[in-house]
Amino acid sequence: MILTRCLPLIWLFLLTACAGRTLYPLPGKGGKGAKLPIQTSRPYNIAHRGSNGEIPEETAPAYLRAIEEGADFIETDVLSTKDGVLICFHDFTLQNTTNVASHKEFADRNRTYEVQGSNMTGFFTFDFTLKELKKLRTKQRFSFRNQQYNGKYPIITFEEFITIARDAPRVVGIYPEIKNPVLMNQHVKWPGGVRFEDKVVETLKKYGYGGSYLSKKWLKRPLFIQSFAPSSLVYISNLIDSPKVLLIDDVTVLTEDTNQTYAEITSDVYFNYIKQYVVGIGPWKDTVVPVSNNYTQAPTDLVKRAHAHNLKVHPYTYRNENEFLHLNFSQDPYKEYEYWINEIGVDGLFTDFTGSLHNYQEWTSPLSETSKSPRQLLSQIAALVLPYEKA
């Protein structure tokens, strides 16, 4: 009698025991304290659009590969879809890095818009809903890079990107860019007068990002927010205390939001102003060290002045291919890393080849030598003192 009554109960118990969540945290998702922390003793290895030297940019595999190869940060450009979803994508048009052109159903989306003063024609991200974008497949932008993954991987959302970082077996930072905010805010409207920048910050906060540079909170979830638009960085300065970086384009390009020249935004006066809002600058490397006849010339004083204002410098972009390497580097990307890290003294590098930079850093400044635990330091000091003890 009692047994048949209890049977459903027993069945329910068995069900719960077998299929319910375990009471202990999964090893892969161990307490944050158990993860190998981010290194802070040598310049940051920033995986520019993921490991896009090998895999189509800004895809999940490109980011996973970068983490595997030792990136300190995975970098991305945040844009918006038609329905206001934040995605990871560099160009505001889709034709260079996806197979949109082969999707007949979207043929009528080829449009012309004015962007930063010039007319541009193409398939714009903000003319597609997320669902539609997810039908597309990415392709490798550069013809001289590996084409074998073309058509395989979809565009990912900003949230998916964050999840990749969060799920990594060691602490991996993220480096999202508020990309083309003027264009995004023109073409995408969120309810309640919320702006593109608000949505980016909202997403970051949702996943627990925050904390000033090198704070305990920041070290758990390292983050730099970058943008070419200083007004966007200023706008979010009250919303989130995470470190921000002002990107600086070529000497002929005006800022997209404030129409300021290169000379203006790299002046001491401007550094004095902007350093209240950012921890560093991200300049195009050929403006830091000008190039003539494909040879680097004498460096400008940009890095010196930035450092004098306590601003970090994270130039972009380092690439292995000889077409990008200036001749004095003998077609050797390691020579280029050596120059920028040891002679120019930058604090981080945006690279398309995470593995090569990691290799270089591991061989020339291995972490075991540059960052020691207190115990290691003490034993090292003891070893130094010992010979003199019995003097």
Partner 1 sequence: MGGVKYCLPLLLLSLLIAECASRPLYTLPSLAKSGTKKPLQTSRPFNVAHRGANGEFPEETAPSYMRAIEEGADFIESDILSTKDGVLICHHDVNLDDTTDVADHKEFADRKRTYEVQGMNMTGFFTVDFTLEELKTLGAKQRYPFRDQQYNGKFQIITLDEYIAIALDATRVAGIYPEIKNPVFINQQVKWADGKKFEDKIVATLKKYGYKGSYMSKDWLKQPIFIQSFAATSLVYISNMTDSPKVFLIDDVTILTEDTNKTYAEITSDKYLDYIKPYVVGIGPWKDTIVPVDNNRLTTPTDLVARAHSRNLQVHPYTYRNENQFLHSGFHQDAYLEYDYWINKIGVDGLFTDFTGSLHNFQELTSPLPKLQ
Q: Is 299 helix (H, G, I), strand (E, B) or coil?
A: coil
Residue type, 219: L
Q: Does 330 bind partner 1 (CB under 8 A)?
A: yes
Region of 104-112, 118-126, 213-221, 327-335 interacting with partner 1 (CB under 8 A): 327-335
The window from 88-96, 233-241, 325-333, 367-375 that contacts partner 1 (CB under 8 A) reads: 325-333
Q: Which amino acid is at 331?
A: Q
| Pairing mode of beta strands 291-292, 295-296 | antiparallel
Closest contact distance (angstroms) between CB of 317 and partner 1 is 14
Nearer to partner 1 by C-beta: 116 or 359? 359
Pick from 127, 333, 347, 361 the residue near partner 1 by CB under 8 A. Answer: 333
Residue 332 to residues 13, 326, 336, 357, 363, Cα–Cα distance (Å): 64, 9, 7, 12, 15
The answer to whether 62 touches 56, Cβ cutoff 8 Å, is: yes
CA distance 319 to 217: 32
Number of residues that bind partner 1 (CB under 8 A): 24
Nearest to partner 1 of 96, 148 (CB atom): 148
Stretch that binds partner 1, among 37-45, 263-271, 282-290, 324-332 (CB under 8 A): 324-332
Amino acid at 103: H
Q: Which is nearer to partner 1, 266 or 356 (CB)?
A: 356
Which residues in 4-63 contact partner 1 (CB under 8 A)? 53-54
Question: Please, what is the minimum distance in Å from the beta carbon of residue 52 to partner 1?
Answer: 11
Question: Segment 291-320, which members bind partner 1 (CB under 8 A)?
Answer: 293, 320
Q: What's the Cα-to-Cα distance from 58 to each of 6, 50, 119, 283, rounded to whole Å?
A: 55, 6, 26, 21
- Determine contact, residues 260/275, Cβ cutoff 8 Å: no
Q: Is residue 335 involved in binding partner 1 (CB under 8 A)?
A: yes
* Contact track, partner 1, 336-365, x by CB under 8 A: -----------------x-xx--x---xx-
Cα 183 to Cα 362: distance, rounded to the nearest angstrom: 41
Instruction: Tell whether residue 369 is a contact of partner 1 (CB under 8 A).
Output: no
324's CB contacts (< 8 A; 6+ apart) are none
228 vs 340, beta carbon nearer partner 1:
340
- Smallest distance, Å, CB 222 to partner 1? 25
Ramachandran region, residue 347 (left: φ > 0; alpha: ψ -120 to 50; beta: rest): alpha
Task: Please give the residue ranges that form the binding site for partner 1 (CB under 8 A).
Answer: 53-54, 144-146, 148, 293, 320-323, 327, 330-335, 353, 355-356, 359, 363-364
